[in-house]
Amino acid sequence: MAEVYVIDDDEAVRKSLTFMLRSAGMLVRTYEGAEEFLREAEYLAPGCVITDMRMPEMDGLELMRRLKVANLPLPTIMMTGHGDVAMAVEAMKLGAVDFIEKPFREEDLFKSIAQAQVADASPRATPATPQDNDVFAVLTAREREVLKCVVAGLTNKEIAREFDISPRTVEAHRAHVMSKVGAASLSELVRMAIQAGL
């Protein structure tokens, strides 16, 4: 069974996740910070990483960059209590399997771990397929423009200024896009768009 490596500077979060994951029969190893994890990373058994986005010394995005440079592309789930679109986009571009916001439901975390455990250890940027592009063919021209801005990391207010529309209208377009393409979360939408070459 592959291990799950939990990296979070909050001891309560580490303990809570350890209990939850071990109760589900998973092997868990915890780390207080990214530096501590990186010192051991090349010697660890295959597994997936669950890391906090914001940590002192080195954040989750920098950890992912370091793993890539070291040619240790462990499937990674990014979690944060202060998520924003730009962070989610950056995490997905670096190959994160998922980007989840605290507090999250157990079943959502388990689903992300299952995806991470079957993910290829190679970079997850896969070529677009005709099916990927077909999913986005149902979008209107404006919905496609809004989606491209979301993937570029723009906030609703920035997108609203870009097209001279209200932030509420941007929210409506985003909701329509997610509904039409069947994305359950922002991270899933970003991942689908990146894989489709958008």
pLDDT at site 120: 46
**3-class state of residue 80 by DSSP:** strand
Domain boundaries, the chain: 3-118, 130-195
Same fold, 3-118 and 130-195: no
Instruction: Label residue 68 left, alpha or beta by phi (over 0 means left) and psi (-120 to 50 means alpha).
Output: alpha
Q: Which residues contact 45 (CB under 8 A, 6 or more apart)?
A: 2, 3
pLDDT digits (tens, 9 = 90+) for 15-27: 999 999 999 999 9
Q: How many residues does the chain have?
A: 198
Q: Which residues contact 14 (CB under 8 A, 6 or more apart)?
A: 6, 8, 30, 32
DSSP-assigned beta bridge partners for residue 50: 6, 77
DSSP-assigned beta bridge partners for residue 31: 7
Q: Which H helix or E strand runs over 74? A: none
Topology given in CATH for the domain delimited by 130-195: Arc Repressor Mutant, subunit A (1.10.10)
The answer, yes or no, to whether the previous bond of 46 is cis (omega within 30 of 0) is no
pLDDT digits (tens, 9 = 90+) for 141-151: 999 899 888 88
pLDDT digits (tens, 9 = 90+) for 100-127: 888 888 888 898 888 887 764 444 444 4
- What is the C-alpha to C-alpha distance for residues 7 and 49, in angstroms, rounded to an integer? 7
Does domain 3-118 bear CATH number 3.40.50.300? Answer: no
Tokens encoding 52: 């906090």
Judge if pTM exceeds 0.75.
Answer: no
